[in-house]
Amino acid sequence: AQSVAQPEDQVNVAEGNPLTVKCTYSVSGNPYLFWYVQYPNRGLQFLLKYITGDNLVKGSYGFEAEFNKSQTSFHLKKPSALVSDSALYFCAVSSDSGNTPLVFGKGTRLSVIA
């Protein structure tokens, strides 16, 4: 069975500093990896995905994520955090092994402090 781990419930970072939100996964087959962001009282918003190819994926709002097959990780990064980046971030995984659903991590709350 596939699974996703987001080891940090909360990440605090000062505005202007780089941020990292961690994600590790376990799947059968080749992974399809996604990051979503959720602002208060809103639905989830797609940020970026890794399917194949270049390990560094660039997405919306200046976010990027690096796929590391040996460490089974897909950490979300941004070079310079904004206060408006404060939100709940979800990592999710499916795979090419059969008709697999999307499995979400438990989420990491990011707080960017001015």
Which residues of the chain form contacts with other proteins (CB under 8 A)?
A: 32, 34, 36, 38, 41-46, 49, 51, 88, 90, 94-102, 104-107, 109
CB of 80 to other proteins, least distance (A): 25
Q: Which is nearer to other proteins, 43 or 70 (CB)?
A: 43
CB of 90 to other proteins, least distance (A): 6
Decide if 21 contacts 6 (C-beta within 8 A). Answer: yes
Q: Which tokens is 33 given?
A: 């990896």
Q: Which is nearer to other proteins, 14 or 51 (CB)?
A: 51
